Structure 1
Amino acid sequence: MNVLPLCSLLIGSSFLPAAVPAPPPAETTSVTVVVSSLVSTTASVRLYFYNTREGFLKSGKWAFSKSVKPQGKSEFSLPVELPKGEWAVAITQDLNNNDKIDKNFLGIPTEPYAFSNNVRPTIAAPGFDECKFMVDEPGKVVSIVLKD
């Protein structure tokens, strides 16, 4: 038996990546976010969905975001599919359509905003635990009133 080809086959195969099956897609559940008391019936509303404490309210750290045009209404419903677990939502309404939340010199938003659980911060921005809700079964409705 020729040992050299067998050795090179064994050594060469140790550098090949093992075939690892892809993880199954996360099971999602239907959730409806209802936003009411819009300040403007024409200005875009941006919803930021977070599923980690570390990324909550940090720019670009949301799981995903959606933009909704109110189409002349002061309330809308947004159906989304979310993986099961803890989630929090932050909402802003861009009254001047400059694609950012405007703030005063203290860093306080000057445009309408809101958080899931209708948390109303007084001194500092809320934490994930204050705003979180559990996605565990279909048909969950999250109602948020926009703060002016």
Structure 2
Amino acid sequence: MQALKQTLLTATCALAGLVSTPALASGDPAATSSVTVVVSALASSSSVVKLYFYNVREKFLTHGGYAFMRVVKPGGQKQISLPVELPNGEWAVAITQDTNNNDKLDKNFMGIPTEPFAFSNNVRPRLAPPAFDDCKFTVAGEGKVVSIALTK
């Protein structure tokens, strides 16, 4: 029973990033890397910013298709920095800022967002949502910084 508790504790700590495991330290495909996402030109220094992280091309920008999401309060700043641990591979980020604090991305009658949004690689879509390949970046190794400017 004690061995089972220790195994569960070790696994939980590894998932939380509190300890390293041989698989994470060995260059295994399941390895993770530190990435900092910097979002600048915020429309509001008080409205929440939502960051949606995608790592599956077919699920990019689909409802609930993101791998995970983070909500960040700017705390009076016009720029935020979000450090995350990501599994190595290809990723894309979509960002929205809920300026009227209604917990959704408002759109006009044509479906075009009326609140600020942005994508990794600073892709600026014209008539259609961007493709995963346009927004993707590669995570492989520590210290990557992804800089994105929010637009309205």
TM-score tier, shorter chain, comes to 0.7 to 0.9
Q: Who is 2:88 aligned against?
A: 84
From the CA coordinates, give the structure whose radius of gyration is larger: 1
CA distance in 1, matches of 2:87, 2:113: 30
What is the match of residue 135 of structure 1?
Answer: 139
CA distance in 2 between partners of 1:62 and 1:99 (Å): 17
Q: In percent, how many aligned pairs have the same letter?
A: 66
Q: Equivalent residue for 1:111? A: 115
Quick one: distance in 2 between partners of 1:98 and 1:61?
21
More helix, by proportion: 2
How much is the aligned-residue C-alpha RMSD, in angstroms? 1.3
Match of 2:27 in 1: none
* Deviation per residue, 1:100-131 (Å, 9 max, x gap): 10000000000000000000001100000000
5 Å matches for 1:6-21?
none
Alignment TM-score, normalising by the size of structure 1: 0.83
- Unmatched 5+ stretches in structure 1: 1-23
Cα distance, 1:76 vs. partner?
A: 1.0
Give every structure 1 segment of 4 or more consecutive aligned residues whose post-TM-superposition deviation is greater than 6 Å.
none
Tell me the TM-score normalised to structure 2 length. 0.81
SS in structure 2 of the partner of residue 57 of structure 1: coil
1:75 to 62, 75, 79: 79
Query: 2:102 & 2:57 partners in 1: Cα distance?
Result: 28
Alignment partner of 1:49 out of 50, 53, 78: 53
Shift of 1:56: 0.2
The Cα offsets for residues 26-68 of structure 1, whole Å up to 9 and x where unpaired, read as 2110000000000000000000000011100011110000000
Matches within 5 A, 1:21-36: 26-36=30-40
Q: Is 1:66 the equivalent of 2:70?
A: yes
- Separation (CA, whole Å) in 1 of partners of 2:86 and 2:97: 22
What are the ranges of 5 or more consecutive residues in structure 2 without an aligned counterpart?
1-22, 25-29
